[in-house]
Structure 1
Amino acid sequence: MRLFDTPLSALGVRDLDLWRDLARPDGRLTSPYLLPDFAHEVDAQRHDVHVIIAEENSAPIGYFAYHAPQGGIARPVGAPLSDYQGFAAIPGFKVCEKALLSAMGADVLVYDNWQGEALGKVRSQTRSSIIDLSEGVTTWMARKEQTQHKHFKKLRQRQRKAEREFGPIRIEFGDPLGERFETLRAWKSAQYRQTGLLDLFDIQWVDALIRNCASRSFGPFRGLVASLYLGDQLAAVEMGIVAADIYHSWMPAYDPAFRAVSPGHLLLQGIIEAAPNMRINRIDLGGGEYAYKDAYTDYETVLQGGRAMKPSAAMASLKAWDSAEAACKILPGPLSKAPLKLRRRWAHTAAAEPVLTQRVKRMGAAFLKAPQRLTA
């Protein structure tokens, strides 16, 4: 196998078409995040996306988009926003991590949602939950009523409660004026600030990427904005991306004033019921352990977090963090987890913020505004 590195902007139509084909290893798209269309949307904002092309017998067998290394560290395209990462490649594809790092000109590859054969040391694992509507919504609902009757009975009770207290439920798709996206953005930013998390919408390239994807309402790769109204009041908005027959939920948010009627669940149910009209057969809810997913999930895709490294200053720095985490485990109570939380916050900030001075500034703000997150 030979590995070639090229800027994304240098790829021609032939490679882009082959890339799209390889993202469908069994004739079905694995995830919209593994398409060149997503990589192009990111590169339009970051201007630093490269692609590794894996070839065998002079024929491409895999494509991997990533951000050019900074300080020796490379990350998959769109990190930390990309819910799927890795190669779009032939079934059974494997790559030598040393050869890959060499081809990228990187000392370390850090990933958090790797799909397929993981590289280097795996440090975490999550599962992306998928709703399979390929047999039709009616069949799906009948099956779920048998296995998840309690959940859907409670959902119907909340539907009735919502309509009694606020008015008729209405689901709307699309956002021609961008007003619903702005509401979603405001709710999500408030949530980030209140919980002490990094406000992703405060980072220019992230804000522009999500906004541009939301505005792509047509074509084989597009955004989908879905909104829940209770009476005349906007209660919840969700934005995701659609490609082939997959809708991937990306940015959900709701008005806390309606928390008692579970507006997010009501909106998800509306999306499920409308999916066939939008030619959507699968809804990917993404990774993370949330109790509600148990009621909806038909199968899961394993995603892994970890890093591939070679001897370097970047590797030494990461190893020093490992040692600090191990040493602090003997400390009492919450202090034992402080280095781990600090490292996670830095890793998240470093992935989202490409400018070093801004990373330091954002970390300083995190200490001032929410120090409890590091010691709680």
Structure 2
Amino acid sequence: MTRIASLRTVAFDALTGAELDAWHRLRASNPALDSPYFHPGFAEAVHAGKPVEVAVGRDERDEVAALLPMHREGGVLRPVGWPGADFQGPILAPGTSFPAARLLTGGAKRFAFDHLLEPNDDFAPWFESSRPSPYVDTTGGLEGYLARASKSGKDNMGQARRRTNKAEKQLGPIRFAADVVDEKSLAAVVELKRGQYAATGAVDYFARPERVELLTRLLHTRGTEFAGILSTVHAGDNLLAAHFGMRSGGVLHWWFPVYDPQFSALAPGWILLRELVGAAPELGIERIDFGRGDDEYKRRAKTGEVMVAQGVVTRNSAYRVVRRARNSMMTAAKQSALAPQLRRLARRLRAYNR
């Protein structure tokens, strides 16, 4: 077991070349960290619009053994990219112990996380809940997917093929673009997503302009090791569905999927997903991570899942009691079929329960 002997925090742009090299080396040594969220390119893109600090841990030989990128807001530390980070946790090799409580220095009172990748014994004492984060194994493209998909996944892919044909007859030729650099289409993604947030009462992620700017930076970040990926499906002149995400190596993260509500009868989201799974081998994509969520299509389409945890590292026991009470209220609201107003309250509370 490798243990951290020293831990210091620096701004992302103050990392040395050796520390950045160590980031790549440690990540490459740990297959669990293959998500683009753990790539330094993500932290760099975020830092361009919102300051990112990195806790750098060194072992007894004074070699970099762990890094944890994060934001500091007063006395609160949060994972890099929060609240849009679907995977969180330290960058380290297997068998390395990270001293989570030692983050609470220099005025930091707590480190709050909501998508911490499990298993993680170092943070486990502060876990409050765990939820699945589903994924799709796209090895072998559509044929490979259908060979291992659930009956529900196969059925929905079959329906997507038939609806693609129907859309083409009704609206015009189908055009799928797997990876385009198009700011106009990205703006359409943001507009449709904001409409979805408004319709469901969810917190509007894009209400803060710097988050739109982040997506624009990522759109223009190109390369196989880290890049933004914008995919679109048109029928004639109509944008049926689109998705903006990130990829690192063979992993694509399904981040902001949208569809035009006027075409909802065609299930355009499934049309897009089918096209993307089919194009995966050409793109070099072997897995699509959906991220945590209760969406029915994720449950139907998935071929597997990992677990992510919510919690807070803190020495304040009273604060943890308050959080547990809030979490209980949110759980009750989400489970209530008779009280949609409580579910709306739960969504508002979630923004403060970090």
Q: Which whole-Å CA distance do the structure 1 matches of 2:113 and 2:134 have between them?
A: 19
Where 2:25 maps in the other structure, the secondary structure is helix
What does residue 225 of structure 1 align with? Answer: 230
Letter in 2 for 1:73: V
Structure 1 runs of 4+ off > 6 angstroms? 324-331, 333-341
What does residue 81 of structure 2 align with? Answer: 78
Equivalent residues in 2 for 1:268-287 (5 A)?
A: 268-287=273-292
- Stretches of structure 2 that go unaligned for 5 or more consecutive residues are none
What does residue 258 of structure 1 align with? Answer: 263
Equivalent pair of 1:108/1:309 in contact (CA under 8 Å): yes
What's the CA shift for 1:63?
Answer: 0.8
What's the CA shift for 1:350?
Answer: 8.3
Where 1:227 maps in the other structure, the secondary structure is strand
Equivalent pair of 2:23/2:67 in contact (CA under 8 Å): yes
TM-score (normalizing by structure 2): 0.86
Letter in 1 for 2:80: V
Where 1:4 maps in the other structure, the secondary structure is strand
Matched-pair identity in %: 28
TM-score (normalizing by structure 1): 0.81
Distance 1:344 1:160, change over 3 A: closer
For structure 1, which segment, 301-310 or 207-216, has the greater mean C-alpha deviation from structure 2 after superposition? 207-216
Confirm or deny that 1:108 pairs with 2:110. Answer: yes
> How much is the aligned-residue C-alpha RMSD, in angstroms?
3.1
What's the CA shift for 1:17?
Answer: 1.7
Where 1:14 maps in the other structure, the secondary structure is helix
Letter in 2 for 1:5: T
Distance 1:24 1:253, change over 3 A: same
Where 1:186 maps in the other structure, the secondary structure is helix
Confirm or deny that 1:139 pairs with 2:141. Answer: no
What's the CA shift for 1:300?
Answer: 1.3
Equivalent pair of 1:119/1:307 in contact (CA under 8 Å): no
Letter in 2 for 1:84: F
Where 1:171 maps in the other structure, the secondary structure is strand
Where 1:292 maps in the other structure, the secondary structure is helix
Equivalent pair of 1:174/1:217 in contact (CA under 8 Å): no
Where 1:24 maps in the other structure, the secondary structure is helix
Confirm or deny that 1:210 pairs with 2:215. Answer: yes
Distance 1:113 1:289, change over 3 A: same
Confirm or deny that 1:200 pairs with 2:205. Answer: yes
Q: Deviations over 1:207-248 (max 9, x none)?
A: 211221123244521111100111221111100101111111
For structure 1, which segment, 199-208 or 242-251, has the greater mean C-alpha deviation from structure 2 after superposition? 199-208
Distance 1:349 1:89, change over 3 A: same
Distance 1:150 1:95, change over 3 A: same
**Which of residues 34, 41, 62 in structure 1 aligns to 2:38?**
34
What does residue 309 of structure 1 align with? Answer: 314
Equivalent residues in 2 for 1:336-375 (5 A)?
A: 342=345, 345-348=348-351
What's the CA shift for 1:25?
Answer: 3.3
What does residue 64 of structure 1 align with? Answer: 68
What's the CA shift for 1:335?
Answer: 11
Equivalenced residue count is 344
